[in-house]
Amino acid sequence: MILERYEWGDASAPPLVLIHGVGSRAESFRRVAEEEWGKHFRVIAFDLRGHNRSGWQPPWTHATYLSDLVESVTALGIDRAHWAGYSFGGRLLLDLTAARPELVDRAVLLEPVIQIPPELALRRATEELTGDVWDSIDAFRRGHGAVGEASAQELAEIEAYFEPLPDGRVRRRTCQAAIVSVFSEFAGPAPHPESLTMSTLLLYAPASGLITPEQLAAYKPHVESIVEVPGLHDIFHDAYEQTAVAVTDFLTAPMHPKRSTA
């Protein structure tokens, strides 16, 4: 499937492909792309299958999501790029580095879902069975752990991803069957850390608890840089500046040979 996309920055600059999280959309990267990363790169973000403007048809396996990304970036004539994946996007980037490492120049893993316990996967999948309809935008924010008041810009970005219903509620533009499938596969193991044969940044928020100490220890020998940021999983809200700058610094630094893990 050729995925719908957004682009920012200079079309002649080196490409940076962004992969959004489950239940999100490509446009969620707009702010950081316009304010920071688009100054250095041709930034490309795709709506994943089952999300927003891209097709919603099955199958909804991680392998299919990966195939869609490869097909879509190849259709743009891009042979190799920097890639950054947030949350589910980070998990897909791990899959990509294992299956098609020749496509990845440098990899940026942003609070990636490496693997979660089956009981958590079941709970989240069950919650998402009816997770597309909400009483209001604010109810959606609170249901996803947001605290405090949202800025006007944040509200506008969220509202653009919803459709109003006749009864006053709002519906998110996601295929819930696809979302449930994603959480199911989160319970399975990710590719081995040794598949990270390219220069890689791992950025995570320790307080979120998504990446366990065991996972961190397993990946540490195979990544070039590990950056800790404050806040919880929503790093583009809780640690926007730290995240934006850390990624820019990593991707624009001189290339170093992949360090040996022997």
Average pLDDT over residues 126-153: 82
Q: HSE-up of 148 (CA within 13 Å, CB side)?
A: 6
Check pLDDT > 80 for residue 230: yes
Q: What pLDDT, in 10s, does the model give residues 163-216?
A: 999 999 999 999 999 999 999 999 999 999 999 999 999 999 999 999 999 999
**pTM, rounded to two decimals:** 0.92
Per-residue model confidence (pLDDT) at position 159 = 86
Measured torsion, CA atoms of residues 93, 141, 135, 25, in degrees rounded to the nearest 10: -30
The predicted pLDDT at position 42 comes to 98
Q: For residue 62, how many other CB atoms are within 10 A of its CB?
A: 19
At residue 256, the pLDDT reads 64
Most confident of 132-141, 148-157, 227-236: 227-236
